[in-house]
Amino acid sequence: AQTVTQSQPEMSVQEAETVTLSCTYDTSESDYYLFWYKQPPSRQMILVIRQEAYKQQNATENRFSVNFQKAAKSFSLKISDSQLGDAAMYFCAYRTAQGGSEKLVFGKGTKLTVNP
Amino acid sequence: DTGVSQNPRHKITKRGQNVTFRCDPISEHNRLYWYRQTLGQGPEFLTYFQNEAQLEKSRLLSDRFSAERPKGSFSTLEIQRTEQGDSAMYLCASSPGDRDNQPQHFGDGTRLSIL
């Protein structure tokens, strides 16, 4: 079974600075999808960025980018120019691209605090 | 696009009672998912529907849990004979289903508290 590990329970960053959140995963599959979701306090989870495993190019969405290292099974999220609104729980998630399974496998999350 | 709607937002009940949650997906989204999230953990997959068909179920979904999506629109999740361990946030998500790797859009969740 696939597992996702987020080794940083909490992280903090100064406003306007850059922070990187770590995620590793374990799978024997070659084709899959990876996601970062953001869950603000008492608010719904929203997708931040996604990556297809077959793509070598790292995904980027405005201030958010990933460092996808397939061989190392690593998928870190970099947030540039951090803003107060970035404060939230961040979850890394995996989904297979094989066999029609739609389930997302989530890590335990990293709580990001942004200091003014 | 009004988003995924879940009701109620919070449910408090005594152990042994039955509870039912409702999820209204984004309009025209064919796929609907249920997840459970306990404190300090990421969401755990429970089940998934493509239209009215329940295509995937987790082993977490014991025989006390049942989910339906009778007309391929809204879905209900029922828990019978609730136990303390059922206390959690129950999240619903939906996705279009017309292409692969469409993102799942989550609702605000229903928080279940068992007394």
Contacts for A14 with CB less than 8 Å, ≥ 6 apart: A82, A114, A115
What average pLDDT does this structure show over A15-29? 96
Q: What is the pLDDT of residue B53?
A: 93
**Looking at the predicted structure, is the pLDDT value of residue B72 above 90?**
no
CB A26 within 8 A of CB A76: no
Q: Which helix (H) or strand (E) holds A78?
A: strand A74-79
CA distance B72 to B54: 10
pLDDT above 90 coverage of chain B, percent = 82
**Looking at the predicted structure, is the pLDDT value of residue B1 above 60?**
no
Identity of residue A50? R
Q: What is the pLDDT of residue B64?
A: 95
Q: What is the pLDDT of residue A8?
A: 97
DSSP A91: E
Chain A residues whose beta carbon lies within 8 Å of the beta carbon of residue B55: 100, 102
Which comes out higher in pLDDT, residue A41 or A71? A71
The structure tokens listed for A71 are: 């061989």
**Looking at the predicted structure, is the pLDDT value of residue B100 above 70?**
no
Kindly identify which residue of chain A lies nearest to residue B109, measuring between CA atoms. A44
Q: What is the pLDDT of residue B44?
A: 96
What average pLDDT does this structure show over A39-57? 91
**Looking at the predicted structure, is the pLDDT value of residue B81 above 60?**
yes
pLDDT tens sequence across B8-29 = 999 999 999 999 999 999 998 9
Q: Collapse the DSSP code of A11 into the 3-class scheme (helix H, G, I; strand E, B; otherwise coil) and give the result.
A: strand
In this complex, the residue of A33, A44, A97 whose CB is nearest that of residue B106 is A44
Identity of residue B12? I
Q: Choose the weakest-confidence range: A23-37, A98-112, B29-43, B97-111.
A: B97-111
Residue A42: pLDDT band (50, 70, 90) is confident
Residue B54: pLDDT band (50, 70, 90) is very high
Q: Is A98 on the interface with B (CB under 8 A)?
A: no
Q: What is the pLDDT of residue B26?
A: 94
- Across the interface, whether the CB atoms of B40 and A108 are under 8 A apart is answered yes
In this complex, the residue of B43, B56, B100 whose CB is nearest that of residue A106 is B43
Chain A residues whose beta carbon lies within 8 Å of the beta carbon of residue B32: none
Q: Strand B110-114 to strand B10-13: parallel, antiparallel, or no bridges (unpaired)?
A: parallel
Q: What is the pLDDT of residue A58?
A: 96
* Residue from B87, B106, B86 nearest B95 by CA: B106
What average pLDDT does this structure show over B48-69? 92
Q: What is the pLDDT of residue B52?
A: 93
E strands, chain B, in order: 5-7, 10-13, 19-24, 31-37, 44-50, 53-57, 65-68, 75-79, 88-95, 105-106, 110-114
**Looking at the predicted structure, is the pLDDT value of residue B98 above 80?**
no
Mean pLDDT in chain B? Answer: 93
Q: Is A33 on the interface with B (CB under 8 A)?
A: yes
**Looking at the predicted structure, is the pLDDT value of residue A85 above 60?**
yes
* Residue from A19, A21, A29 nearest A81 by CA: A19
Q: What is the pLDDT of residue B18?
A: 97
